[in-house]
Amino acid sequence: MPEPIRRAAIHAALRRLAPALPAREAEVVLDHAVDSPGLRKAKPETAGWLSLVAYVRHVHSDYDALLEEGYDPEAARHFALPAMRETLAAWGVRRQITGDEDA
């Protein structure tokens, strides 16, 4: 799929997934979804979801600080989940995050 069409498809998926996602943050998530080599073959909805989860984990939770404190990634993800769920809910996300998502 050509990049402009893929970008539009991922953008539409993000609007469905997180209707209240602020525009400036949506652009960052969208750029990651389009530019990430690991997401190039993913369906637009999958690429949007995984990028959204990764963004929230790194920007709206203590995940990175927990890693720096010596927590292993699994434990850090566990402790980051409440903040992530809160942020996603505020953006209108109805899909439940499990903690198993890995972008």
Domain parsing of the chain, residue ranges:
3-90
pLDDT at 2 over 90: no
Residue 70 and residue 87: Cα distance in Å, rounded? 24
**In the predicted structure, residue 93 carries a pLDDT above the cut 90:** yes
Spell out the alpha helix ranges (H) of the chain.
3-17, 23-35, 44-59, 63-68, 73-90
* pTM greater than 0.75 (yes/no): yes
Q: Round the CA-based radius of gyration of the chain to a whole number and report it.
A: 14
Question: What does the alpha-carbon distance between residue 46 and residue 37 come to, in Å, rounded to a whole number?
Answer: 14
